[in-house]
Amino acid sequence: PVFDFKPKGHLELGEGLDIIRQRRLSHVSGHRSYYLCGAGALLQHALVTFTLQKLLSKGFLPMTVPDLLRGAVFEGCGVQPSATPSPVYTIDPARFEDLCLAGTSEVGIAGYFMDHAVQLQDLPVRVVCSSTCYRTETDTGREPWGLYRVHQFTKVEMFGVTAAESGKESEELLDEFLGLQKEIFSELGLHYR
């Protein structure tokens, strides 16, 4: 898009409006953390609510998931919590054996379906979950900026379980999810690629 003004980034706008604070927080929660205040906090809640309502209207099953999960759940999703460096936060094993903070609600939803048969006539299953996500790794090789690549954030996740009768079910559901993401961004008036 072409603008008749100099666009500002989200951090510059948020700090100017006093709705984002990311400076001088190392004594509170360390590197790559932030506060959303006032309208910033309300905006996050409104975006989560908007997205949940949109997906519920499309027949998604709402779900909340545990923030603490066993290593086997991560391993079932292809994540090795015991790797060095670990991609997830591990809870003190002397007190809580084999528990990690969920990096994303996808892992918790996958855990829900572990060792759980879904009847063919009930497929595909579409699940939506809003959760707090935790990331140990925030370095992409570039200097992170603003609210990108932070250790903790809130996210709305779409998750699907499909049959494998034709071999195309998963790709078709992924295309549906992509269409829903485009619809959400368009309704919010946001540019995307």
Distance of CA 8 to the CA centre of its chain: 25
Q: Is residue 121 part of a domain?
A: yes
Reported in sequence order, the residue ranges of 1-82 that DSSP labels E, i.e. its strands, are 20-21, 35-36, 61-62, 68-70
Q: To which H or E segment does residue 147 belong?
A: none
The sheet with strand 125-134 has its strands ordered as 61-62, 125-134, 152-161
Identity of the residue numbered 67: D
Among residues 131, 155, 125, 132, which one has the least CA distance to residue 58? 125
Are 126 and 52 within 8 A, CB to CB?
A: no
Q: How would you class 184 by CB atoms within 10 Å of its CB: exposed for 0-12, middle for 13-18, buried for 19 or more?
A: middle
CA 104 – CA 101 distance, rounded (Å):
9
- Residue 186 structure tokens: 């368009």
Closest CA to 62 of 109, 121, 123, 8: 109
Does residue 162 lie within any of the structural domains? Answer: yes
Q: In tens digits, what is the pLDDT along the chain, a chain of 193 residues?
A: 788 999 898 999 999 999 999 888 778 887 778 889 999 999 999 999 999 999 999 999 999 999 999 999 999 999 888 888 888 888 888 998 899 998 899 999 999 999 889 999 999 999 999 999 988 875 656 656 778 778 889 999 999 999 999 999 999 999 999 999 999 999 999 988 8
Residue with tokens 């998604």: 60
Q: Residue 115 has which token pair? A: 């060792």
46 assigned to some structural domain: yes
Does an H or E element contain 9, and which?
none
- Distance between CA 144 and CA 119 in Å, rounded? 44
For residue 193, give Cα distances in angstroms to 160, 177, 181, 182, 190.
23, 15, 11, 9, 10
Return the pLDDT at 95.
92
- Domain of 132, in residue numbers: 41-187
CATH code, domain carrying 65: 3.30.930.10
Q: Does a structural domain hold residue 49?
A: yes
Number of domains in the chain: 1
Could you tell me if residue 14 is inside a domain? no
Tell me, yes or no, whether 13 lies in a domain. Answer: no
Which residue type occupies 41? A
Quote the pLDDT of residue 136.
82
Is residue 153 one of the residues assigned to a domain?
yes
- Quick check: is 84 in a domain? yes
